[in-house]
Amino acid sequence: MTLLPRASNFGTEIDSLFNALLGLSVVVILAVFITMIVFTVRFRRGRDVDRSGESHRQLGIELTWTLVPLALFVGIFIWSIRLWVDLRTPPRDAEVVYVIGKQWMWEFEHPGGQREINTLHLATGQPIRLVMTSQDVIHDVSIPAFRVKQDVLPGRYTDEWFTPTRPGTYDLFCAEYCGTDHSRMGGTVVVQSPQDHAAWLAGHGTQTLAMQGRTLFTRYGCAGCHDLGAAVHAPALNGLFGSTVPLADGRQVRADDRYLHDSITLPASAVAAGYAPIMPSYQNRISEADIHYTGKGDISTAQRHSILYRITRWLGLI
């Protein structure tokens, strides 16, 4: 009997592994303590037994207590590593939801631009990949009913994925002590039928990420230099993401999230070949909520909660 509902695709697998480890531990504990009790009674003081200490080797028994635990250990290892690989490999059709943890609240954003605070609406049967970062300290997204949890770190992205399988409302916790109000940093996950979720998305739609990207691109003055037809001689952004960029110092780098982030906040650190180092730093002008980078992922699966992602979406690069 399980105390929590199994509300994701990982529920049965993780519970089965946990129960197997628990059962194996119980068997080992019973075997050790039963043997200890038997030996204690048999060799108690005053009992007429052979105490000479003469060795009686039995190869079969020795092989059994060596090979059986080894086989169990290898079996548990193979089982757990396969499950771990599944947990770290989201399917290509997973819908990405962007998560920012901050003292002391959770902010979620859907690909269509819908934003939520401390509540996350999802659809049954749709694989979900949470791409997460922290604005301040280490947090941790834990959804017990889904059997998933993952640390959320400042300055980088982590992710976790799952497929909700049962409609309902489930608890979400911060499972890493993050400060005075850590105990209040919680939320709820609302799992709906696909039809109800589609209706919810339609009723809470704002700007798409591509539209937000155009807004940011104009607001921060990026268009004045990087837009098509701009008078300033600056690197073109069309086709930039994922390409190899030659730098003025002779190096070549891949235009990934790290490079784009540093180009915005520390433009002098990686000047493109053939261009003057005239771009000002935006380090204190753009909030980290808009400029955080993932630092991983490939072009086909990368989905970013950042100005980088919004701009590249607007440009049609990914």
User: Tell me, what's the pLDDT at 200?
Assistant: 93
CB atoms within 10 A of CB 165: 17
Judged against a pLDDT cut of 70, whether residue 206 lies above it is answered with: no
Judged against a pLDDT cut of 70, whether residue 55 lies above it is answered with: no
**Among 20-24, 36-40, 212-216, 304-308, which stretch is predicted with the lowest mean pLDDT?**
304-308
User: Tell me, what's the pLDDT at 216?
Assistant: 75
Instruction: Report CA-CA distances (Å) from 286 to 98, 101, 118, 220, 222.
Output: 18, 18, 24, 8, 12
User: Tell me, what's the pLDDT at 54?
Assistant: 66
User: Tell me, what's the pLDDT at 297?
Assistant: 35
198 vs 269, residue with greater confidence: 198
Q: What is the CA radius of gyration of the chain?
A: 28
Average pLDDT, the chain: 82
User: Tell me, what's the pLDDT at 144?
Assistant: 95
Judged against a pLDDT cut of 70, whether residue 11 lies above it is answered with: yes
User: Tell me, what's the pLDDT at 257?
Assistant: 66
232 vs 211, residue with greater confidence: 232
What percent of the chain lies above the pLDDT cut of 90? 43
Judged against a pLDDT cut of 50, whether residue 305 lies above it is answered with: no
Structure tokens given for 291: 């400029």
Of the candidates 298, 308, 301, which has an alpha carbon nearest to the alpha carbon of residue 213? 308
User: Tell me, what's the pLDDT at 41?
Assistant: 87
Judged against a pLDDT cut of 90, whether residue 272 lies above it is answered with: no
pLDDT tens digits for 119-161? 999 999 999 999 888 888 999 999 999 999 999 998 778 899 9
3-class DSSP state for residue 59? helix
Q: Buried b / exposed e across 193-205, counting CB within 10 Å, b at 16+?
A: eeeebeebbeeee
Judged against a pLDDT cut of 70, whether residue 99 lies above it is answered with: yes
Would you place residue 240 in the very low, low, confident or very high pLDDT band (cuts 50, 70, 90)?
confident
pLDDT tens digits for 281-303? 877 777 656 664 333 333 333 33
3-state secondary structure 151-202: EECECCCEEEEECECCCEEEEEEECCCCCCCHHHCEEEEEEECHHHHHHHHH
What percent of the chain lies above the pLDDT cut of 70? 84
**Among 84-93, 190-199, 223-232, which stretch is predicted with the lowest mean pLDDT?**
223-232
Would you place residue 221 in the very low, low, confident or very high pLDDT band (cuts 50, 70, 90)?
confident
